[in-house]
Amino acid sequence: MSPSGTTVLRVRGLHKSFAAAGNTTVALNGVDLDIAEGSFVSIVGPSGCGKSTLLQIMAGLASPTAGDVFYKDRCIEDPPPDVLYVFQQYTRSLFPWKTVERNVAFGLENKGTLSRAEIASRTSELIGLMKLSGFERHYPWQLSGGMQQRVAIARALACRPAVLLMDEPFSAVDALTRVGLQELLRSLWRELKLTVVFVTHDVDEGVYLSTRVVALTRAPGTIAIDVPIDLPGPRDQIATRALPAYLDYRARLLAQLFADEGLKRTEAA
């Protein structure tokens, strides 16, 4: 799926600071960012650079100290109904006393605009799409980490968002599970025509998944480099990662991050 060129999220002059114990910490400093409809944008950067804070402000879950975020030209002051957030800690976002089926249906039931039959139909469709069929009656604590994260994603998708904001959603799962979730997310992005903003520490993950990767500097975070990603599809976990273009994107991003951190790129002799 190719971005449409229409800007769906617009960040302008964004600053965010936190005050604690008489000290002020600046997390974000003058961030400007446009997110095109249908794009898959990954945000990378060192720990504490403001990636998650930026995502929370874009979701309407936190307020900026200065600057604005717009969703379709409307200034975000509270969570837009078409923009949904998938948390890093999926174990905390799921209700342990609800089954998979009831967790997925939760947002639909709260909307109060669908009949029971419509809720059941959409819930069943998503459970199948997320490869959770047969686990409808299971509770989160009976599932693996990867399956729990699929439940969290299904619950977000149940409300049919236009934009999905994801905060390091695969960081707590093993490498093979992460690969499976990456493939599932790419498939959902294409099939459902989503716009995705994806925070990750993993440059390789960002390059593989995305149409664009934005790297932030160490706090106070600002944009260090903005790299459009143009790789042939369908993408493949082995073949795509071996492409010269993929390796070039990866090297450009790592070089910028290493330079910002003052890291040496070669081992001492």
- Look at residue 46 and tell me if it is in a domain: yes
> Residue 13 has which token pair?
């002059």
**DSSP-assigned states of every residue in 105-172:** HHHHHHH--S-HHHHHHHHHHHHHHTT-TT-TT--GGGS-HHHHHHHHHHHHHHT--SEEEEESTTTT
State whether 46 and 168 are in the same domain.
Answer: yes
Domain that holds residue 143: 90-160
- Look at residue 243 and tell me if it is in a domain: no
- Look at residue 217 and tell me if it is in a domain: yes
State whether 72 and 189 are in the same domain.
Answer: yes
- Look at residue 242 and tell me if it is in a domain: no
pLDDT band at 264 (very low <50, low <70, confident <90, very high): low
Q: What is the pLDDT of residues 59-112, one digit of tens each?
A: 999 999 999 999 998 999 999 989 999 887 777 789 999 999 999 998 788 777
**CATH number of the domain where residue 172 is located:** 3.40.50.300
In the DSSP assignment, the letter for residue 173 is S
State whether 71 and 174 are in the same domain.
Answer: yes
Q: Which of 160, 187, 209 is the last residue of a domain?
A: 160
State whether 119 and 188 are in the same domain.
Answer: no
> Residue 11 has which token pair?
């960040």
State whether 174 and 74 are in the same domain.
Answer: yes
| H/E run at residue 15 | strand 7-20
State whether 42 and 77 are in the same domain.
Answer: yes
pLDDT band at 130 (very low <50, low <70, confident <90, very high): confident
Q: What is the pLDDT of residues 156-179, one digit of tens each?
A: 888 889 999 999 988 878 888 889
Mean pLDDT within 116-137: 91
State whether 130 and 200 are in the same domain.
Answer: no
**Count of structural domains within the chain:** 2
C-alpha pair distances (Å), 151 with each of 105, 161, 189: 10, 16, 16
State whether 94 and 216 are in the same domain.
Answer: no
State whether 187 and 61 are in the same domain.
Answer: yes
State whether 77 and 166 are in the same domain.
Answer: yes
CA distance 44 to 54: 11
- Look at residue 215 and tell me if it is in a domain: yes
- Look at residue 27 and tell me if it is in a domain: yes
State whether 144 and 190 are in the same domain.
Answer: no
Distance between first and last Cα of the chain: 46
**pTM for this one?**
0.89
- Look at residue 7 and tell me if it is in a domain: yes
State whether 75 and 169 are in the same domain.
Answer: yes
